[in-house]
Amino acid sequence: MIPRYARPEMTAIWEPATKFRIWYEIEAHACDAMAELGVIPKENAAAVWKARNVQFDVARIDEIEAVTKHDVIAFLTHLAEHVGSDEARFVHQGMTSSDVLDTCLNIQLTRAADILLEDMDKVLAALKRRAYEHKETVRIGRSHGIHAEPTTMGLTFARFYAEMARGKARLLAARAEIATGAISGAVGTFANIDPGVEEHVCKMMGLTPEPISTQVIPRDRHAMFFATLGVIASSMENIAIEIRHMQRTEVLEAEEFFSAGQKGSSAMPHKRNPVLTENLTGLARLVRMTVIPAMENVALWHERDISHSSVERGIAPDATVTLDFALNRLAGVIDKLVIYPENMLNNMNKFKGLVMSQRVLLALTQAGISREDAYRLVQRNAMKVWEEGRDFKQELLADAEVVAALSPAEIEEKFDLGYHTKHVDTIFARVFGEPA
């Protein structure tokens, strides 16, 4: 977790105070369930809730842990300082530390997912707004970085919208994957604790009981979660790369918003760097790098080994905090992106009409000219554009052989941009679910 790439909403989830609060709630609900089952006295369960409004003292817990060398015991000792030793004596009964730790981790990941889902909504809203704004803003479509055929800026935004909407659906699924809890004891047999406790705790904490756990909740769930973040980060990179390309000096179809106060802008007005999207490109790598270790964490020895733990102490905050920051940054970038429709047209016309050569070729063959001849006709006019900078349409109109096959109006029509945008509404309806 890099402080400069972190938002407090997300880092709060990973602070010790939050963790202890969750542990407390798990233990208190577990006591309730045990009391309900008649395993412990109801008054002891009730007593635990005396600490309901306590802000646990992290430093004090650390102090105890320095002695006990065990984090959960340190917490329970501190809890007893609030609840009373005697009243607290049934807390955690029949449970194993992992019951608390793993259920807590999944709660944290679930909350992180909720924030990420909000982030994605911001990104989606920005993309949708800009898509409609530039639905008809024509620009050249490129394959291999080379001009191909016209498209619109709105279609670019709509495409990213569809991709991010898929990302959101995946994140919802990934959230469901890790929204489970387990209170099943040392090796998951419920030998020392009734399954009813797990059910109650999960219900109160917004989780589903893990159908079968060992000492730990199975890590394929977490692997899937991090893999999903990796895919979303990759989609984010996809958008970032597009913007970086658009902002290149030679292309200049868009620029990241550059506030008036930002240093250096006016003496070197050409030097506005797409630093935010470059940053997002790097952040995507940071999120993605957590995927493989999360997968390596799946194969634990027998009922558990603890190799996964240090990994998760790193990647759980790192991946969620970084992606949260990045998605927020992305939403802002999209929202404020400065778009230059005129430059888009200029770029498209860089080789005066040459991008239409394919359409002309087709029209000539459809007009009955042989493929070879059509090709020759297009070629000789195209080369004048390429080599001498002439205008393609004018050359065609001046080429007797071409005009013999196609009327000026027909030639003119081949350069009509409406030909390329005629299905934009259809596509928008598919993406945004509204009538074409």
Is 278 among the residues that bind its own copies (CB under 8 A)?
yes
> In terms of DSSP H, where are the helices of 211-356?
220-247, 275-288, 291-296, 307-336, 341-348
For the bound state, the minimum distance from the C-beta of residue 53 to its own copies, rounded and expressed in Å, comes to 28
Is 388 among the residues that bind its own copies (CB under 8 A)?
no
Is the sign of the CA dihedral 222, 224, 227, 233 positive or negative? Answer: negative
User: For residues 48 and 24, what is the distance between their CA atoms, to the nearest angstrom?
Assistant: 9
Q: Which is nearer to its own copies, 216 or 331 (CB)?
A: 216
Q: Which is nearer to its own copies, 25 or 344 (CB)?
A: 344
Is 5 among the residues that bind its own copies (CB under 8 A)?
yes
At what angle are helices 275-288 and 307-336 packed, to 10 degrees? 160
Where in the sequence numbering do the catalytic residues fall? 144, 265
Tell me which residues in 246-265 interact with its own copies (CB under 8 A): 247-251, 262-263
Tell me which residues in 296-355 interact with its own copies (CB under 8 A): 296-311, 313-315, 318, 322, 347, 350-351, 354-355
User: For residues 389 and 409, what is the distance between their CA atoms, to the nearest angstrom?
Assistant: 23
User: For residues 266 and 254, what is the distance between their CA atoms, to the nearest angstrom?
Assistant: 17
Is 293 among the residues that bind its own copies (CB under 8 A)?
yes
Site string for its own copies, 128-147 (x = CB under 8 A): ------------xxxxxxxx
Residue that is written with structure tokens 């055929």 in the block: 149
Tell me which residues in 165-194 interact with its own copies (CB under 8 A): 166-167, 170, 173, 177, 185-192
Burial class of residue 94 (count of CB atoms within 10 Å of its CB; 0-12, 13-18, 19+): buried
Residue 122 CA neighbour count, 13 Å, CB half? 19
Among positions 54, 73, 125, 345, the unique one binding its own copies when judged by CB under 8 A: 73
Among positions 231, 327, 344, 411, the unique one binding its own copies when judged by CB under 8 A: 231
For the bound state, the minimum distance from the C-beta of residue 52 to its own copies, rounded and expressed in Å, comes to 27
Tell me which residues in 193-222 interact with its own copies (CB under 8 A): 195, 209, 211-215, 218, 220-221
Nearest to 331 by CA among 7, 4, 16, 2: 7
Among positions 81, 386, 401, 410, the unique one binding its own copies when judged by CB under 8 A: 386
